[in-house]
Chains A and B, each alone.
Chain A
C-alpha cells in the first residue's frame, strides 16, 4: 500500500502546538465518501499533521453510533442527521456530538428494480425532470391499489439520514405520502443490492457506489441522482463526541486539516486510480475498483449494455466548499425530523444547527492552510447558477435569525 505518495513534506509548524493525543480512532462505513478518512490514513496526510489515524470498518450505523457513544471511537464517518439525533437523544441515549466538518456533497441516488423502472417509463418517467419519476410512481401506486396489490417497499439506510429525507421529499414531490402509500424499511448500504435482487424491496435511496453496483449487477436502474434533486446537497460529516472535542482541541484541528487536504487530493482526477485501488481493498469497501473509479468520474451505468449517463457533480469531495459544515444543512435536517414526526414539533432548528454544526472550529482549523472558508454559516439552497435544483423548482431558505 502506498504510504506517503500524497504528501511531499512533513509540516507540523501550522499547528497551534502539538496535538494533545497523537492517535485518533475513527469509524467508517463501506461507502465511497469515507475516502477522505482512508486517504488521510493511507497517504500520509494524518502523519503530516502529527497524527496516527486508526480506522475501523463498521457494519451498521447503529454500531458506529454505539462505539462513538461509549468512547471506543473518538469520531466517525457519520450521517449528518445522526449527529443531530444523537445530540437530541432520539432513537438512542442522548450523546452530544458535533460536526466540525463535512465529508463531501451528493453521491446518493434513487434506484428501483428493473421491473418497476419499466412501469415508471410507461407512466412518463422523463430524464430531464427530477420529479417526473415520483409522479409516475404515484400512478403506479394508484394502479396497484385498484388491483389490490401490496404496497411497494423502499429501503433507506437509517431513520436519521439524508437518504430517508431525500426519498420522502422526492415521493412527497410526486404527491405520494411516504407513511401511507409505500413502506419504508431500513437496510444497511452494503446489503441494499441483495435485498433488491431478492425482491424484498422495490427500490432504495443509498450512497455511492451501491446504486451503480445494482445497475451493473442487472437488478436495478437509477431513477434520479441526488445532484439533480438537490444540487450540492449535504451528505456525510465528521461526527465527533463533544467531550472528546473539548478535551482535544488541537488534535481535532490537526485532524480537520489532514482530512480537508485528503479531500482535496482525493478529488484530483489524476489521483482517482490510487484512491479507488485503496478503497477497493478488503479492509475498506472490498469490491472492484473499476466501479469506484467510474463513480468518482460521475459516469453512471444504465442497464443497456455499454450505455452510461454522465453526471459530473455526482459526488463532490472538496470543490464548492464540500468540506464546510453549513448550518443551513443542519437546520434543514432538523426541519425534516419535525416534518416526519421524529422529534418534538416545537424543536428550534436554528438552535440545534448552532449547537451541532461547528463552522467556527472548521475556520479556525483551516486558517493555516491555503484554503478559503466561507465567511457565513448559512446559505440558501437551490439558488445561484443551479437555481431551482432543490426538489423540483423550490429554493430552501433557512429561517434563522443569523442566516
Chain B
C-alpha cells in the first residue's frame, strides 16, 4: 500500500490545528485525508470514511466514545490505539507530550504508521508553540498597559514627566532585583488600595 492510498481521518474540533495537520499530511503525499470537525454521529462518519488511521487530539472527550465503538461495532473495522504497541516508548512519550492519539487498523506497515504519527506529533508541537507565542504576546500587551498605568500614577501624584516616571520604575526594579512590570504592578495595586 503506498502512502497516498492510506485513508486518514483527522478528528479535531480546533480548525487551526486541523489545518496545520492537514497541510502537513498533504505535503507528505497523503491525498485521502478527511477532517471531522464535529463529533455528532461519529460512528456514521467513521463508517463512511473507513479509515486506516484515525488521528485525534488526546484531550478530546470523544475518545471514550470512539473506543467503545471499536469494541462493539460490527460495522467498522476495529482500529487499536498506537499505544497498545509499547515497543516504541519514545514515540509514545512524544505523542502524549504533544497531545496526539492515534488509532490504526491492522495490516499497516509499522514504518508507514510511524511516519504519520511522527508528522502529527511535529505538527501538534508547532501548533502548541503558536499557542504559547500567542499567550506570550497577550501577556506582553497587558504588561505594557500596567507599566503605562504606573507611569500615569507617578506623573499625577509626583508631578513627574513620563521619562522621569519610567526612569523611577526602572531604578526601583534594578535596586530590588525585580522586573519593571512587577514594580509597576505593586504601585498600581497600592494606588487602588489608597484610593
Contact = CB atoms under 8 A, between A and B. Distances in A.
Interface of A: 58-63, 66-67, 69-70, 72, 91-93, 157-159, 185-188, 190-191, 198, 200
A23 B40 CA distance: 40
A253 B145 CA distance: 49
Nearest to B40: A200
B83 A93 contact: yes
B83 A159 contact: no
Nearest to B63: A62
B111 to A, nearest CB: 21
5 contacts: A61-B64, A62-B67, A63-B63, A72-B96, A91-B71
A200 B43 CA distance: 13
B58 A66 contact: yes
A216 to B, nearest CB: 22
Interface in B75-98: 81, 83-84, 86, 92-93, 96
Interface in B93-126: 93, 96, 101
B64 A62 contact: yes
Contacts of B163: none
B61 interface: yes
A191 B61 contact: yes
B65 A187 contact: yes
Interface of B: 40, 58-65, 67-68, 71, 81, 83-84, 86, 92-93, 96, 101
Given A66-B58, A67-B96, A70-B92, 15 more contacts: A60-B61, A60-B63, A60-B64, A66-B81, A66-B83, A66-B101, A69-B83, A70-B83, A70-B96, A72-B96, A92-B83, A93-B83, A186-B64, A186-B67, A187-B65
B59 A159 contact: no
A324 B62 CA distance: 32
B61 A93 contact: no
Contacts of A67: 96
Contacts of A190: 61
Contact of A63 (B59, B86, B92, B93): B59
A72 B59 CA distance: 14
Contacts of B101: 66
A382 to B, nearest CB: 29
Contacts, number: 61
In order of increasing CB-CB distance, the 9 nearest A-B pairs are: A186-B68, A188-B61, A62-B63, A59-B61, A60-B64, A60-B61, A59-B59, A93-B84, A186-B64
B84 to A, nearest CB: 5
B58 A186 contact: no
Most buried by B among A62, A66, A69, A72: A62
Most buried by B among A61, A66, A158, A198: A66
B61 A158 contact: no
B86 A93 contact: yes
B64 A187 contact: yes
Most buried by B among A63, A67, A159: A63
Given A66-B96, A93-B83, A93-B86, A159 B60 contact: no
Nearest to A61: B64
Contacts of B62: 60, 188
Contacts of A69: 83
A52 B38 CA distance: 39
Contacts of A59: 59-61
Contacts of B40: 198, 200
Contacts of B86: 93
A159 B84 contact: no
A67 to B, nearest CB: 7
A45 B129 CA distance: 36
Nearest to A67: B96
A56 B58 CA distance: 14
A159 B68 contact: yes
A157 B62 CA distance: 11
A62 B84 CA distance: 13
B140 to A, nearest CB: 23
A157 B64 contact: yes
Contacts of A157: 64
A121 B78 CA distance: 40
Contacts of A61: 64
A63 B58 CA distance: 7
B67 A91 contact: yes
A28 to B, nearest CB: 14
Contacts of B71: 91, 159
Contacts of B64: 60-62, 157-158, 186-188
Nearest to A161: B64
Given A66-B101, A93-B84, A60 B68 contact: no
A80 B151 CA distance: 58
Contacts of A185: 65, 68
Contact of A186 (B60, B65, B84): B65
Nearest to B99: A63
A156 to B, nearest CB: 9
A336 to B, nearest CB: 15
B191 to A, nearest CB: 26
A91 B84 CA distance: 10
